[in-house]
Amino acid sequence: MDEIRKDLVKVVHGDPTKYTAVIFTGSGTIIQDVCITSLVPKNKKICIVNNGAYSARMAEIADSYHISCVNLEFPTTGLPDLDVVRETLEKDRDIAVVATVHHETGTGVLNPIREIGKIAHDNGCILIVDTISTYALLPINIEEENIDFLMSSAQKGLGGMTGVSWLVGNIEKIEKSKDYPKRSYYCNLYMQYDFFERVGEMHFTPPVQTIYALRQAIKEYWEEGEQARWERITKCWEAIHKGIEEIGLESVIDKGIQGHLVVTIKAPEDRKFDFLKLHDYCYERGFTIYPGKMFGLKTFRLCNLGQITYKDIEDFFVVAKEAFREMGYTIPIKQ
């Protein structure tokens, strides 16, 4: 576990004298829970820069623990308005923590972390970022991105098994959190950190098999390499855009602000379109696609996280085109 903790810092180019990794047992949401409940000082507030389902989840966590939360909601189809973020922090001096999501997996929007971090730091706040769907996929340098705490989970970019999640955080700021309110027992950051430092183990029973799988996933990450993985993922994403264009579909999110990992697609408006039919046709032929995660808009998602190449995406589109024909469309479909 000691090796794994060091590697988890190395993946995001953290200086090991300044940053450390702390591991918890659970799916990704547990590490959101850890960060939100452990890093807000007494009588201080957290501000969530919220443009999607996963930042909304952090606001819900804050509410659940009665942590005073300024929930800055922005449209889920675009980037947050940084002037609003700056004004909010300048006006409300009780805000001590800013939290946001790097890549909103529900839409595919990639947020400007570095700029948000700069605004947070200029106003004496720390920045917590949910990098759960970008960690080990998109190159991240924790310090250059102005991040104090980032999070991830074994089953996402690293391709391990569900059941372990971690944060990589600034050691000085973890030490400082020692005196913050303990709002959760199992999810307290300082307690887990302190136990790791003193005993070299997790405070409670570790998910041993999942940890071994994580170790293997990290090994495979080093073997492929940061840049090669990013290029493979990007080629997959470009193949998705090519495929949807050929079918005659459009993405909801501007291509320039996408994270290269998820494409949200506008579903055809007519009655012939049936997501379940499309899903099942593809699923029976070895491909899984996702329903949309946006309120009020008929969408579906194509995701390219995982051990796949652009060839797999091309194979997928052969099947997807058949599925559209089965629904009664000619390709390219006309809307």
Smallest distance, ligand PLP to C-beta of residue 195, A: 23
| 133 is a contact residue toward ligand PLP (CB under 6 A) | yes
Q: Which of 20, 50, 100, 105 binds ligand PLP (CB under 6 A)?
A: 105
Smallest distance, ligand PLP to C-beta of residue 154, A: 9
| 69 is a contact residue toward ligand PLP (CB under 6 A) | no
| 132 is a contact residue toward ligand PLP (CB under 6 A) | yes
Q: Which of 22, 98, 101, 217 binds ligand PLP (CB under 6 A)?
A: 101
Contact window for ligand PLP (CB under 6 A) among 4-12, 21-29, 136-144, 272-280: 21-29
Nearer to ligand PLP, 156 or 301 (CB): 156
| 233 is a contact residue toward ligand PLP (CB under 6 A) | no
SS3 annotation, the chain: CHHHHHHHHHHCCCCCCCEEEEEEECCHHHHHHHHHHHCCCCCCEEEEEECCHHHHHHHHHHHHCCCCEEEEECCCCCCCCHHHHHHHHHHCCCEEEEEEECEECCCCEECCHHHHHHHHHHCCCEEEEECCCCCCCCCCCCCCCCCCEEEEECCCCCCCCCCEEEEEEEHHHHHHHHHCCCCCCCCCHHHHHHHHHHHCCCCCCCCHHHHHHHHHHHHHHHHHCHHHHHHHHHHHHHHHHHHHHHHCCCECCCHHHECCCEEEEECCCCCCCCHHHHHHHHHHCCCCCEECCCCCCCEEEEECCCCCCHHHHHHHHHHHHHHHHHCCCCCCCCC
Nearer to ligand PLP, 67 or 164 (CB): 164
Q: What residue number has its CB nearest to ligand PLP?
A: 28
Smallest distance, ligand PLP to C-beta of residue 156, A: 6
| 130 is a contact residue toward ligand PLP (CB under 6 A) | yes
Nearer to ligand PLP, 133 or 146 (CB): 133
Q: Is the distance from CB of 261 to CB of 233 less than 8 angstroms?
A: yes
Q: Is the distance from CB of 19 to CB of 9 less than 8 angstroms?
A: yes
Smallest distance, ligand PLP to C-beta of residue 134, A: 8
Contact window for ligand PLP (CB under 6 A) among 17-25, 83-91, 128-136, 182-190: 128-136
Phi then psi for 72, rounded to 5 degrees?
-85, 100
| 153 is a contact residue toward ligand PLP (CB under 6 A) | yes
* CA atoms of 335 and 333, how far apart (whole Å): 7
Q: What is the total residue count of the chain?
A: 335
Q: Which of 19, 24, 54, 287 binds ligand PLP (CB under 6 A)?
A: 54
| 264 is a contact residue toward ligand PLP (CB under 6 A) | no
Query: What are the beta bridge partners of residue 19?
Result: 170
- Residues near ligand PLP (CB under 6 A), total: 11
Closest CA to 39 of 125, 154, 140: 125
Nearer to ligand PLP, 232 or 301 (CB): 301
| 210 is a contact residue toward ligand PLP (CB under 6 A) | no
Q: Which of 25, 29, 68, 77 binds ligand PLP (CB under 6 A)?
A: 29
Smallest distance, ligand PLP to C-beta of residue 66, A: 22
| 33 is a contact residue toward ligand PLP (CB under 6 A) | no
Count of Cβ atoms closer than 10 Å to residue 318 Cβ: 10
Contact window for ligand PLP (CB under 6 A) among 14-22, 129-137, 233-241, 268-276: 129-137
| 27 is a contact residue toward ligand PLP (CB under 6 A) | yes
Residue ranges that bind ligand PLP, judged by CB under 6 A: 27-29, 54, 101, 105, 130, 132-133, 153, 156
